[in-house]
Amino acid sequence: MPGRPIPAAAIDPAGSPRSICCRLQENNHNTLAPGTQTGSWYTVWIANILAGTIVLVLGIIIRAFNASGLIAGYNTASAEEKAEYDEEALTGFVGALLIAASAILLAGGLLAVAGAPGFVAGASWLLFLVIIIGGVVYMNTGERFRR
C-alpha cells in the first residue's frame, strides 16, 4: 500500500521533505489574537510587568495610607498585640519593601522587552524572592518595630 503523497508545503526549496517539527514551528500562530506572536518570552515579560505593577500598587497603598490591614499576621493580631508595635514604622517598611521588590520585577520585564538575554526576567524573579524573604526575616528579628 503506497503512502500518502507529501504536500508541497512540506517540501523545502531544496526538494527534501521537512520534518514535522519544522512545520509545527512555522504554523505557531496565535488564533485568539491574529497578528501577535506566541511564545514563552511574551509570557515572561507580561508576568513581570503585571506582577510588578500589582506589587507596586500594594506597596504604595500600604505606605501612603498606613494600610496595616494588608500586612499578613499583623491584621489578625489581637488589639493587645497590635499595641506593642509601631504601626507607622511597620507600614512604612513593608510599603518600601514592596516598592523595591516591584522595581526589580518591572526592571526585569522592561529589560526583557528591550532585548536583554532571556535569563534577565528569570533572575529578576529570583532577586524578588531574595528581597521579600530578606525583608520578612529582617522584620521578624531584633524586635525592630516594637514600641
- pLDDT tens, residue by residue, 92-106: 999 999 999 999 999
Distance, CA of 28 to CA of 13 (rounded, Å) = 20
Distance, CA of 21 to CA of 60 (rounded, Å) = 47
Quick one: pLDDT at residue 41? 65
Distance, CA of 74 to CA of 82 (rounded, Å) = 7
Domains: count for the chain:
1
- SS3 for 57? helix
Distance, CA of 127 to CA of 139 (rounded, Å) = 18
Q: Which residues in the chain come in under a pLDDT of 50?
A: 18-26
Domain membership flag for residue 43: yes
Q: Which domain holds residue 119?
A: 39-140
Quick one: pLDDT at residue 120? 86
- Spatial contact of 65 and 88, defined as CB atoms under 8 Å apart: no
Quick one: pLDDT at residue 24? 44
The x, y and z cell numbers of residue 94, run together, are 513593608
Quick one: pLDDT at residue 117? 79
Quick one: pLDDT at residue 67? 93
Domain membership flag for residue 18: no
Quick one: pLDDT at residue 22? 46
Quick one: pLDDT at residue 66? 92
Q: What is the dihedral of CA 98, 102, 105, 110, to 10 degrees?
A: -170
Q: CB-based contacts of 93: which residues, under 8 Å, 6+ apart? A: 135, 139, 145
Quick one: pLDDT at residue 20? 45
Distance, CA of 103 to CA of 95 (rounded, Å) = 12
